[in-house]
Chains A and B, each alone.
Chain A
Amino acid sequence: MDTLPPLQTLLRLSNFGRSLYAPGYTYQPVSVEEIEQIFKTARRQGLTVGLRGAGKSYNDAALNGGGIVIDLRRMNRILDWNPETGVVRLEPGVTIQQLWQHILPDGWWPPVVSGTMTTTLGGCLAMNIHGKNNFRMGTLGEHVLEFTLLLPTGLEILCGPKKNRDLFYAAIGGLGMLGVFTTITLQMKKIRSGLLQVRAWNVPNLAAHLNALEAGAPAHDYIVGWLDATARRAGLGRGQIHTADYLTEEQDPRPQHSLRVEYQTLPSTFFGLVPKSLLHYFMAPFMNNPGTRAVNTAKYLLGLTARSYRQTHAAFHFLLDYIPDWELAYGRNGLIQYQSFLPKETARDAWTEMLTLSHRRGLPSYLGVTKRHRPDEFLLSHAVDGFSLALDFKVTDRKRARLAQLLQDFDRIVLEAGGRFYFAKNSETTPQTARHFLGQEAMAKFKALKKRCDPHNLLESDLYRRVFEEDE
């Protein structure tokens, strides 16, 4: 008889927002053979297997409570890099940080990056991440030339946009439920400088906010908005727009300097004095309704004059890494993020209703971020021709039930407005909501593929159980 997974491998794993914990028998394989072995053990033991990268999803995507978790961070070799063509082949545990630091000196940058550089490429692909340039570059999946997928059956399949096409478009964004990406080949983006030209200006309300995103997108390489979700009435939806553009060789006379990895390093102190690792202690007292309102108002007033400056790629892209462990400022119950994607025609009305509702219930979001998007071909896609709004909420015991009700109302508003959701973010999406926005056909197609790739249902996560297993 096979022995049980040793108790020492059982770790209490958490999500990015530290709002959820679940134990998992955690393995860190370094080879495909080891992964195959884990699948065999799982099957003999009647346990399920969840896949985990850096564990940076805000919800339960990288948790598999009581089951096995394959943490892929040790499969982190960059297998092949061609500085002439910008094609990179890597293992799934390579992080965005490892990748950009490897390719930047040659004048390349990942075409799509997340808000933190600690995510792994395998995780990013399983969620099909987008960046602040989604309207122009699409999702990360659109830059994949091919990947090999190890199925729980032990079969390894090569997929590309033209080879095993159905699996290619389902496994990218497939929540790690069809197989394990064992190698990934990606096309990088050529850049001429390690700096970006950034412009920032305020927008006084939601209409101006969305107009700025729509009008600004075609003219810029990146665009993102900060939305002051505590502002009411005439100021509802006010915020700040940031655009960023690549520099040409003429604009940066010393590209070899700015393309150095050391040049991109984020400062470790604030105002040259306070170590950033301590900052979350100073933020914590402001993590309440009046505190956030005061901080947001100050931020808005300070941004009244439009600014233009140059910033490194790392500083512009990886805002979430700017303050280490910032999520600790949200207290012991952590935070959740609610991100909705709405068509440009309905976004304004729907978000006006949602923001107003959150104020009326005394549950304003403490951070709002907006982006411009375009649709894509992936089976479980979250993208629309429109905008997204990500809202962070602090979780407290007192507010939990009211917050759950608020998000349920948000779901209704978003679905009525033809919106979609992103599986790496929302933690309360129900099977009914998922079926509504994905459609019966996509859902059935995904389940059929799942059955084909994983006939014994070995791959599972708490997210998958929550959203997809309703009527099985």
Chain B
Amino acid sequence: MPKNALSLPPRSTPLKPRRRALVIGASSGIGAALARQLAREGYALALLARRQDMLETLCKEINAASGESRAVFYVHDVREYAAVPALLQRILADLGSLDLVVYNAGVNLPAAYDFENDRLMTEVNFIGALAWLDRVAALFQQLRSGQIVGISSVAGDRGRAGNPAYTASKAALTCYLEALRNRLSRYGVHVLTVKPGFVQTDMLKQAQRPFMVISPEQAAADICKALRRRKQFLYTPARWGLIMLIIRLIPSFLFRRLRFLA
């Protein structure tokens, strides 16, 4: 499980401060792009995912590009809820501290009234987030600092006929992140909810009519910018903000008739 053969990133000194981030769901897509972007910005990284080979390749790539040990990985399935406290303690000890935690783990499976699929989506997209972010929130509240990023989705803004369980899991995540923000802002902890539209990742295969598709790198760049500005919400690309505003305003009786939207 946790510690791997890679050497740990160096600790901060007053003249070489290093911010430290944990990215959960880092092996591909937005998570991997965000890891690369954060490494370029000087972060030391703990990368978590199920797929060891992909994590290992990503860490090696990041460390080679930055010329020093900057990323380590931990193989973990976010549904192993019981493992979270000990793993978070391990990561904190390995990095020396934590300034940023990104919950990016997510799956989108075909909607066919399949309970197993729906449960899996809920567990990965939402219950896993609870397991991790509850613990992280307590940690950051105790330390009176930190940034939490949750990768939700524009799909969570309305219940969509296309995939009820997926949209519900993302709606739950959005609501949970808002609650965390309300709870933690008084302690100086920043919570950012990210709602990407269509991003060129494995998940896009499930999309029926993708449009305004962006690359994971663009999403990662937007997230880093929002982090610096301590924004509360981020639609990426930004145009989704307007689109979703309109969609949210459509009354339910009308929304269910608009088949191309619902």
Indicate whether A19 sits within 8 Å of B10 (C-beta atoms), given known contacts A4-B89, A47-B93, A66-B95: no
* Beta-carbon contact of A403 and B97 below 8 Å: no
Convert A323-339 into 0s and 1s, putting 1 for each residue whose CB lies closer than 8 angstroms to a CB of B: 00000000001101000
- Taking CB atoms and an 8 Å cut-off, the chain B residues in 1-38 that contact chain A are 10-17
Q: Is B145 an interface residue (CB 8 A)?
A: yes
State the CA gap A427–B12 with chains docked (Å). Answer: 10
5 more A-B residue pairs beyond the given contacts A7-B142, A407-B15, with a C-beta to C-beta distance below 8 A: A21-B97, A67-B93, A333-B14, A395-B15, A400-B16
Q: Is B243 an interface residue (CB 8 A)?
A: no
Asked if A395 and B14 sit within 8 Å, CB to CB, the answer is yes
B65 within 8 A of A: no
Measured CB to CB, the closest approach of chain B to A437, in angstroms, equals 18
A66→B97 contact, CB < 8 A: yes
Verify B11–A23 contact, CB threshold 8 A: no
Report whether B85 and A20 are in contact in the complex, using a CB–CB cutoff of 8 Å.
no
List residues of chain A with CB within 8 A of the CB of B16.
400, 404, 428
Could you name 10 residue pairs across A and B whose Cβ atoms are closer than 8 Å? A4-B89, A10-B142, A12-B144, A17-B14, A20-B13, A20-B17, A22-B11, A66-B89, A66-B94, A428-B13
Q: Evaluate contact between A7 and B93: CB separation under 8 angstroms.
A: no
B15 contacts A427, C-beta separation under 8 Å: yes
B143 adjacent to A23 (CB under 8 Å):
yes
Contact A4 B95 (CB under 8 A): no
In the complex, what residues of B have CB within 8 A of residue A407's CB? 15
**B92 beta carbon closer than 8 Å to chain A:** yes
> Do A65 and B14 have beta carbons less than 8 Å apart?
no
B90 close to A (CB within 8 Å) = yes
Q: What is the CA–CA distance of A59 and B14 in the complex, to the nearest angstrom?
A: 8
Please give, as numbers and ranges, the residues of chain B lying within 8 Å of A60 by CB-CB distance: 11, 13
The interface residues of chain B lying within 8 Å CB-to-CB of A47 are 89, 93
A45 to B93, CA, bound (A): 11
Q: Give, as a whole number of angstroms, the nearest-CB distance from A154 to chain B.
A: 22
CA distance A210 to B172 in the complex (A): 70
Contact B10 A20 (CB under 8 A): no
Q: Is A77 engaged at the interface, CB distance under 8 Å to the other chain? A: no
Interface pair A20/B14, CB less than 8 Å apart = yes
With A47-B93, A65-B96 already in contact, the answer to whether A20 and B12 are too (CB < 8 A) is: yes
A465 sits at the interface (CB 8 A): yes
Chain A residues lying within 8 Å of B86, measured Cβ to Cβ, are 4
Give CA–CA (A8, B13) in the complex, Å: 26
Question: Which chain B positions have C-beta within 8 A of A8?
Answer: 142
Q: Is A435 an interface residue when CB atoms closer than 8 A count as contact?
A: no
User: Do the beta carbons of B14 and A427 come within 8 Å of each other?
Assistant: yes
- Is B138's beta carbon under 8 Å from chain A? yes
Task: Say whether B139 contacts A10, CB under 8 Å.
Answer: yes
In the complex, how many angstroms separate the beta carbon of B131 from the nearest chain A beta carbon? 15
**What is the bound-complex CA distance between A334 and B90, given in angstroms?**
29
Size category of the binding interface on chain A? 35 or more
Which residues of the partner chain B approach A7 to less than 8 Å between Cβ atoms?
138-139, 142
Is A235 located at the chain interface by the 8 A CB criterion?
no
Contact B145 A12 (CB under 8 A): yes
Task: Closest B residue to A401 by CB, please name it.
Answer: B15
> What is the CB-to-nearest-CB distance from B116 to chain A, in angstroms, rounded to a whole number?
31
CB-defined interface of B71-106 with A at 8 Å, one 1/0 digit per residue?
Answer: 000000000000001100110111111000000000
Judging by beta carbons under 8 Å apart, are B15 and A465 in contact? no
Nearest 4 CB-CB pairs, A to B? A65-B96, A19-B14, A66-B93, A66-B92
Across the interface, name the chain B residue whose C-beta is closest to A429.
Answer: B13
Which residue of B93, B95, B97, B143 contacts A48 across the interface (Cβ within 8 Å)?
A: B93
Q: How far is the CA of A60 from the CA of B11 in the complex (A)?
A: 10
Complex: how many Å from CA A403 to CA B15? 7
Of the listed residues B12, B90, B138, the one surrounded by the most CB atoms of chain A closer than 10 A to its CB is B12
Q: Is the CB of B13 within 8 A of A10?
A: no
Contact residues of A between 400 and 420, Cβ < 8 Å to B: 400-401, 403-404, 407
A251 CB → nearest B CB, Å: 45
Task: Decide if B96 touches A66 in the complex (CB within 8 Å).
Answer: yes
A43 in the interface, Cβ–Cβ < 8 Å? Answer: no
Q: Are A23 and B90 in contact (CB under 8 A)?
A: no
A285 contact set on B, CB distance < 8 A: none
Hey, which chain B residues are within 8 Å of A5, CB to CB? 89
A48 to B13, CA, bound (A): 19
Chain A hits for B139, CB < 8 A: 7, 10
Q: What is the CA–CA distance of A60 and B14 in the complex, to the nearest angstrom?
A: 9
In contact, A22 and B96 (Cβ under 8 angstroms): yes
- CB within 8 Å of A: which of B114-143? 138-139, 142-143
User: With the chains together, A4 CA to B82 CA distance in Å?
Assistant: 13
Contact, CB under 8 Å: A428 / B15: yes
Chain A CB count within 10 A is highest, among B10, B97, B139, B144, for B97
What 0/1 readout, one digit per residue, does chain A (454-472) give for beta carbons within 8 Å of chain B?
A: 0000000010011000000
Q: A46 at the A/B interface (Cβ < 8 Å)? A: yes
Residues of A within 8 A of B138 (CB): 7
Closest B-chain residue to A8, C-beta based? B142
CA of A333 to CA of B13, assembled, Å? 12
A407 to B63, CA, bound (A): 26
Interface centre among A7, A45, A395, by most B CB within 10 Å?
A7
Q: From residue B3, how far is it (CB to closest CB) to chain A in Å?
A: 9
CB distance from B86 to the nearest CB of A (A): 6
Complex Cα distance, B33 from A442, in Å, reads 46
| CB pair A22 B142 closer than 8 Å | no
| CA distance in complex: A403, B16 (Å) | 10
Contact of A462 among B11, B90, B92, B94 (CB under 8 A): B11
**Contact assessment for B11 and A65 in the assembled complex, using a CB-CB cutoff below 8 Å:** yes
Chain B residue contacts of A334, Cβ below 8 A: 14
- Chain A 417-444, CB-CB to B under 8 Å as 1, else 0, gives 0000000000110000000000000000
Contact A4–B97 (Cβ < 8 Å):
no
Which of A10, A23, A45, A395 has its CB near the most chain B CB atoms (within 10 A)?
A23
Chain A, residues 139-175, CB within 8 Å of chain B (1/0): the string is 0000000000000000000000000000000000000
Q: Write out the residue numbers on chain A whose beta carbons fall within 8 Å of the beta carbon of B89.
A: 4-5, 45, 47, 66
Whole-angstrom distance between the Cβ of B58 and the nearest chain A Cβ: 23
| B103 CB → nearest A CB, Å | 19
A462 touching B93 by the CB < 8 A rule? no
Chain A residues with CB under 8 A of B92:
23, 66
Q: Are A46 and B90 in contact (CB under 8 A)?
A: yes
Interfacial chain A residues near B13, Cβ < 8 Å: 20, 59-60, 427-428, 466
